[in-house]
Amino acid sequence: MLLGLTLLGLLFVMWLALSVETRTFWTANNMSNLLRQGSMIAILAIGETFAIITGGIDLSVGAIAGFVSMVVALLLTNDLGFASTIFGAVVISLGVGVFIGLFHAFGVVQMGLPPFIMTLATMYSLRGIGLLITNGATISITNNSFTGFSRASFLGFPWTDGTWFEIPMLFWMVIVVAIPAYVLLNHSRWGRYLFAIGSNKEAARLSGVNVGAITYMAYVVSAFCAAIVGILLAMRIGIGNPTQADGWELQAIASSVIGGTSLFGALGTVHGPLIGSFILTTINNGANLLNLNPFWQRIITGLLIIVVVYFDTLRTRKR
């Protein structure tokens, strides 16, 4: 909780500084843009956190998002009856995500592979499979009611400068993902088991926890969130391409870690990665507005990870 407030404070300080430094930052337009930009990493980071809490990791979330963007585009641009309706395409794409998650858990639980290796392998293969299917081509989505969702918004309020601020649909999607994720993590016994496994798998097993099933849950949640992001990505850019979302897995992991998730497992929240991802987005957004060389964004992100995790290490060392 303390870390959450500190991070929220950090986010507001950054916003305040950027509002003072630039005219364009604190505008209804830019802020709703920032929410849009941050939403996808936020959803990835929430899913990723489930895998990390068990003491594992999911390196494939970016690749899943790219792969699913291709799947949904393929379905929508062909005439396959139900599968080519928006509803059908979304359901099947989410199903693809669940399947990939099950495959990860199969590798980790049944084959005993380290999660790092298992998801590294699918990270490579999924992009390859996608390129094989599309032959390297990009699929343009012509369905306007599908792509329109990413530009749409719902509810709004007057901004400080009198203009109207609209909450983008993409951000609502973050809420739609975060609430069930929060309930699952903090108010269900499966959430308790996730932490127990991350802390001491052996103790959890000897206490009657079905470690295998809970591990399956973690990787399915992670891949499912990545599939949601894949669909949102296809909506936002209007194309399906398996090479999209390159490097997003690292942004998701960074957001999660900045948000207080321990890579050793057993420590993590839903709000942490959420705030963490918007901190990263603010760095990117602010750096653009400040006309900073974009390469600096990566450097700042790297430094921030070191600083935040260092302070967290100090905090846990005292225990």
Partner 1 sequence: MVLEKLDKRFGATHALKAVDLSFEEGEIHAIVGENGAGKSTLIKLLTAVFRRTSGEVYWRGKSVPLASPHESIGLGINAVHQEVVLCPHLTVAANIFLGDEEMRGGLLNHGRMVRDAQKLLDDLGFVLPAEVLLSSLTIGQQQLIATARAERRGAKFLIFDEPTAYLTRQEAAALFKLIRRLKAEGVTIVYISHRLEEVFELCDRVSVLRDGALVATRKVSETNEAELIALMINRTIDQIYHKDVVKIGETILETDKLSGPGFRDVSIRVREGEIVGLYGLIGAGRSEFVQSVFGRHRATSGRIIWQGKDVSIRSERQAMNLGIALSPESRRDQGLCLQLGVGLNINLPIYKRLSLGPLIHHGREGAAADKQIHDVQIKTSSRAALASSLSGGNQQKVVIGKWLNHGAKLFIFDEPTVGVDVGTKAEIYRLLGSLLAAGAGVIMVSSYLPEVYELADTLHVFRAGRLVATHGHKDASQETILTEAIGV
Shortest separation between residue 186's beta carbon and partner 1, angstroms: 8
| Segment interacting with partner 1, rule: CB under 8 A, options 23-31, 202-210, 237-245, 280-288 | 202-210
Residue count of the chain, please give it. Answer: 319
* Distance (Å, whole) CA 92 – CA 289: 39
Contacts of 190 (CB under 8 A, 6+ apart): 184, 214, 217
Question: Which of 23, 187 has the CB closer to partner 1?
Answer: 187
Two tokens, residue 311: 């302070």
Q: Which of 94, 220, 253, 267 binds partner 1 (CB under 8 A)?
A: 267
Site string for partner 1, 179-198 (x = CB under 8 A): ----x---xxxxxxx-xx--
Shortest separation between residue 211's beta carbon and partner 1, angstroms: 10
Site string for partner 1, 144-183 (x = CB under 8 A): ---------------------------------------x
Number of residues that bind partner 1 (CB under 8 A): 24
Residue pair 56/115 in contact by the 8 Å Cβ criterion: yes
* Distance (Å, whole) CA 258 – CA 61: 18
End-to-end CA distance of the chain: 16
Shortest separation between residue 179's beta carbon and partner 1, angstroms: 13
Strand partners of residue 153: 168
Shortest separation between residue 217's beta carbon and partner 1, angstroms: 11
Shortest separation between residue 195's beta carbon and partner 1, angstroms: 6
Long-range contacts of 187-195 (CB under 8 A, 24+ apart): 190/214, 190/217, 194/50, 194/53, 194/54, 194/218, 195/53, 195/266
Which residues are at the interface with partner 1 (CB under 8 A)? 183, 187-193, 195-196, 199-200, 202-210, 266-267, 319
